[in-house]
Amino acid sequence: MFGGSKIKLDSELLKKVKKYSDIAGYSSVEEFITHAIEKELAALEDSDSEEEIKKKLQGLGYIS
């Protein structure tokens, strides 16, 4: 799972992830989570500086 790393999710969050991954037609929860993370990281990869990354993360609500 996830390239050898294990990530634990809260059971309620996992239920939601399973629901949405099924609706979206993903073959597994892992595939759905991988796609979601890749999409979020791609939004950061266009950044020119660490400060720009921080601003984007703040805008997305990941840091305050």
Distance CA 31, CA 22 (A): 11
H or E stretch including 13? helix 11-24
Residue count of the chain, please give it. Answer: 64
Tens of pLDDT, residue by residue over 8-61, are: 999 999 999 999 999 999 999 999 999 999 998 998 998 999 999 999 999 989
Q: What is the pTM of this model?
A: 0.75
- Provide the residue type at 37 as one letter: I
List all residues 6 or more positions away from 29 whose beta carbon is below 8 Å from its beta carbon.
14, 17, 18, 21
